[in-house]
Amino acid sequence: MARRAGPIRPSWCAGRWSDRAADHRRAPAGGIRRRWPVAAAAPQGAVRAGQAGARAGAVTDRLTPAGLARAVALLRAGELVAFPTETVYGLGADARQGKAVAAVFEAKGRPHFNPLICHFATADAAFAQVVTDERARALADRFWPGPLTLVLPRRPECRVDLLAGAGLDTLAVRVPAHPLARALLAAVDGPVAAPSANRSGEVSPTTAEHVLEGLGGRIAAVLDGGPCAVGVESTVLELSSSGAVLLRPGGVTAEELEAVIGRVGRTLPLGAAVASKTLRSPGLMVSHYAPSLPVRLGAAAVEADEALLAFGPALPGAGATYHLSETGDLREAAARLFAGLRWLDREGQRLGLRRIAAMPVPDEGLGAAINDRLTRAAAPR
């Protein structure tokens, strides 16, 4: 196919990314290049039903008390409702209802041996379902509400359906920081099991539009709270009598955890937990967060038939380029990671590019979480 001289970069027009071919045809030889904007927030709390075939009923386009009540009613009725957290959008189900939890696995195409995270409005509500100790309470005091999930032993009286925890004797719990998520959880007044609101193994959603792209027609509604601030999933930490183990890096860094509770061990190598079919945490699948195009890591140069995921100054010569952070800011890069993979995948396929080349990201702080997601995106499928 004929190729233009320069790369294509995402453009912004009237608060929406423009995918029109006409926009690209008008590009100068160097391609379209705009400063990255702050994403325009959708009406706060709007409830949007999935596309044709969804089980949801009426659609509301902005947050109202009736709209929030509708989302709560759907969850209580055993329906699936996606909602925003500060990390990514979660696909919510009443964790006390086995059929509702099973519907999450069905909608996502998720293996049943992969446990779900249960979300709560408060630390007290979460700790009523699990056995805690001084470390758990100290971490909750420091990081909740926020992007930290704790894996703790289930209490005998735990009300969460066993399927949500993949039949294990532990449960993954967290208190999200997003105000709309907390309002929803408080109104439901019970645990809500919520993995990321995407098909299993695909790129996690950070906007309501991302949710509908993957799950439209499969779920009842998405509670739209605008773009997610953190952009990568929560850190998952297992606390047991033998120590603390970081199962998944995320929005809270290992260094921050160790500042509160001391040494934190690292998880098994990729694939080891999967082989046993008894994952201790969500997000441990080897091939995960994957776009359709193959991903090449550690790019020091880029070809014209590759799409570039850039960190810091971009490498020249790519067919399409997406900046995680032009200044090398890890927090900014984490917030843009999944949106960037989605854009490059879509644009790369439109242009006939063969793969995505990802520039190196420092493996420190939030960089560890970014590299974990990129490694899984690049894994064999």
CATH number of the domain where residue 181 is located? 3.90.870.10
Whether pLDDT at 35 is above 60: no
CATH number of the domain where residue 358 is located? 3.40.50.11030
Among the candidates 247, 276, 305, a domain finishes at 276
- Please indicate whether residue 38 or residue 289 has the higher confidence score (pLDDT): 289
Backbone φ and ψ for 378, nearest 5 degrees, come out as: -90, -5
Backbone φ and ψ for 85, nearest 5 degrees, come out as: -125, 180
* Residue 9 domain-assigned (yes or no): no
* 199 and 342 fall within a common domain: no
Return the pLDDT at 339: 81
Measuring CA to CA, which residue among 229, 245, 244, 236 is closest to residue 338?
Answer: 229
What token pair was written down for 355? 């793969």
* Residue 369 domain-assigned (yes or no): yes
pLDDT tens per residue, range 309-321:
999 999 999 999 9
Whether pLDDT at 32 is above 50: no
Which residues, in sequence order, are CB contacts of 253 under 8 Å at separation 6+? 235, 365, 366, 368, 369
* 8 Å CB contact between 209 and 329: no
* Residue 6 domain-assigned (yes or no): no
pLDDT tens per residue, range 102-151:
888 888 876 555 789 999 999 999 999 999 999 999 999 999 999 999 99
* 8 Å CB contact between 68 and 183: yes
Whether pLDDT at 75 is above 50: yes
Neighbours of 300 (CB within 10 A): 8
* 355 and 245 fall within a common domain: no
Distance between CA atoms of 349 and 361, rounded to whole angstroms?
Answer: 24
Among the candidates 226, 253, 276, a domain finishes at 276
Where would I find the H helices in the chain? 21-25, 65-76, 98-108, 123-127, 134-143, 179-188, 208-215, 254-261, 272-276, 330-351, 366-378
Q: SS3 string of 78-108? A: CCCEEECCCCCCEEEEECCCHHHHHHHHHHH
Distance between CA atoms of 29 and 27, rounded to whole angstroms?
Answer: 7
- Please indicate whether residue 300 or residue 17 has the higher confidence score (pLDDT): 300
* 91 and 127 fall within a common domain: yes
Return the pLDDT at 47: 42
- Average pLDDT of the residues in 194-208: 91
What token pair was written down for 262? 């001391």
* 233 and 294 fall within a common domain: no
How, if at all, do strands 148-153 and 170-174 pair?
A: antiparallel
* Residue 165 domain-assigned (yes or no): yes
What's the domain range around 85?
Answer: 46-276
* Residue 19 domain-assigned (yes or no): no
* 8 Å CB contact between 12 and 32: no
What token pair was written down for 306? 């590759």
Neighbours of 266 (CB within 10 A): 11
Among the candidates 276, 299, 333, a domain finishes at 276
Whether pLDDT at 186 is above 60: yes
What is the number of alpha carbons within 13 Å of residue 311 lying toward its C-beta? Answer: 26
Sheet containing 320-325: which strands, arranged edge to edge? 295-296, 355-358, 306-311, 320-325
Query: pTM for the full model?
Result: 0.69
Measuring CA to CA, which residue among 39, 373, 18 is closest to residue 9?
Answer: 18
pLDDT tens per residue, range 324-374:
999 999 878 877 887 899 899 999 999 999 999 999 999 987 788 788 779
* 301 and 246 fall within a common domain: no
* 259 and 298 fall within a common domain: no
How, if at all, do strands 221-224 and 81-83 pair?
A: parallel
Backbone φ and ψ for 250, nearest 5 degrees, come out as: -165, -140
Whether pLDDT at 68 is above 90: no
* 115 and 241 fall within a common domain: yes
pLDDT tens per residue, range 259-311:
999 999 976 554 544 444 444 555 554 445 578 999 999 999 999 999 999 99
* 269 and 171 fall within a common domain: yes
* Residue 171 domain-assigned (yes or no): yes
* 206 and 88 fall within a common domain: yes
Q: Which amino acid would we find at residue 365?
A: G
Q: How far is CA 315 from the centre of its chain?
A: 27
* Residue 179 domain-assigned (yes or no): yes
Distance between CA atoms of 228 and 208, rounded to whole angstroms?
Answer: 10
* 323 and 205 fall within a common domain: no
Average pLDDT over all residues of the chain: 79
* 272 and 312 fall within a common domain: no
Domain count, the chain: 2
How much of the chain is in helix, strand and coil states, percent to nearest 5? Answer: 30, 20, 50
* Residue 119 domain-assigned (yes or no): yes
Backbone φ and ψ for 181, nearest 5 degrees, come out as: -60, -45
Most confident range, picked from 36-45, 120-129, 211-220, 322-331: 120-129
How would DSSP label each residue in 222-236?
Answer: EEE--S-SS-SPPEE
What token pair was written down for 88? 């990514």
pLDDT tens per residue, range 188-198:
999 999 999 99
Measuring CA to CA, which residue among 337, 336, 356, 357 is closest to residue 346?
Answer: 356
* 122 and 254 fall within a common domain: yes
